[in-house]
Amino acid sequence: MERTQQRAAAEESYAKGLEANRQLAESFEAGIYGADRSIKQVDLAVVVHVLYREESDNISMEQIHSQIDVLNRDFNWEQNDKGLIPEIWRESGETSGFRFHLADKDPDGNFTTGVTRKQTTVSDIGGGEDYYRAEWGGIEPWPQPHYINIWVCEIGGNVLGFTYLPSVSAQPSDGIVMDPRAFGTTGTAVHPYNGGRTLVHEMGHYFGLRHLWGQEEGDCTNTDYMADTPWQREANFGCNDFPHVSCPSEPDGDMFMNFMDYADDECGLLFTKNQIEFMQLVLQTAKVTLLHSPAITGITEPDDLGLTIYPNPAEEKINALFDSRYKGKKFGVYNALGQEVRTGWVSSSVESVDLSNLSKGVYFLKIDSDFVRIQKQ
């Protein structure tokens, strides 16, 4: 909130967009506006900028994937700890349909892993205004209309992560900044922040959600614009026992296990239906350009098979990203009749396969017993 207010004070266009978004939230709370609920799934492109001072903070792909997995789980109501939600709120959640993917196209249209890396000499770079400026030791953002930018870097001041509330006016600093201690579930992530839920919380802000206690702590009349969350006086930390009452008007007490409170990762458990719908509404308004981003072309999940193809559909060529277990093995591309039209050997993690003189249609890339469908355009 501090960062958001500082930015609003410094940038008039951001402040205007922020106010427009607050009015949208007010109308949403009043039931005047809602999201288009017919959209069941959206694919969102993420770029992770790993900005490290110590080599130990040059986090692994595995750690990055572990974080993307948590986002997809918690934004799709697939978490397996729903039984810990107090019974009165256990049916409060639902899926957003948001599917987060590491981008596979960079802003120039070239293949990317969706991760950039840079060593910096600036300590606590995320604590200031340098993290998004290359000349000051940071990494420039990729165009915010099409990419959700996440910088993973030292922040300092015991801050785990931060972001800005949405505005149609994108700022160069726009995105989410995360400390490596609170990113993903492995590697540099440290208990109790190694459940990946700091980013779930920040992504909630990124899509317009406020804390449960509203703009400021201290009384029971600050709204978070969500009709299905109770009034709450202040933040809750750690893990609480139900009921925990901070406002006399709420006999069931605080929804302290909501992702938009400050619970430890193992005790933050849900977004409510209104929170989900409001994020969908923000995606369809202030952040609509993220929909149909050209930054993701692949249709297969890297974790399913250990094999990812991009772009897919393809015109001239495909790139196949192979898990290390395939190293040295032969792969083949087959047409719909099962005839082998290409072969190759896996000598590096990414192999390029030329499709230019094949006719349009469906092909399969096969290695061992795994195969991926390829659409040639």
Token reading at 195? 């459940």
- Catalytic residue chosen out of the listed positions 2, 55, 129, 202: 202
Which residues partner with 372 through β-bridges?
Answer: 365
Closest CA to 49 of 172, 221, 222: 172
Q: What is the DSSP letter of 118?
A: E
Token reading at 65? 């994937």
Contact predicate 23/266, CB 8 Å? no
| Residues ≥6 apart with Cβ < 8 Å to 269 | 79, 81, 82, 84, 85, 257, 258, 259, 263
Contact predicate 161/60, CB 8 Å? no
Token reading at 301? 């999940």
Using DSSP bridges, classify how beta strands 262-263 and 237-238 pair: parallel, antiparallel or unpaired: parallel
Contact predicate 224/22, CB 8 Å? no
Give catalytic status of residue 202 as yes or no.
yes
Q: CA gyration radius for the chain? A: 22
> How big is the CA angle at 146 (ends 95 and 32), to the nearest 5 degrees?
50
Catalytic (active-site) positions: 202
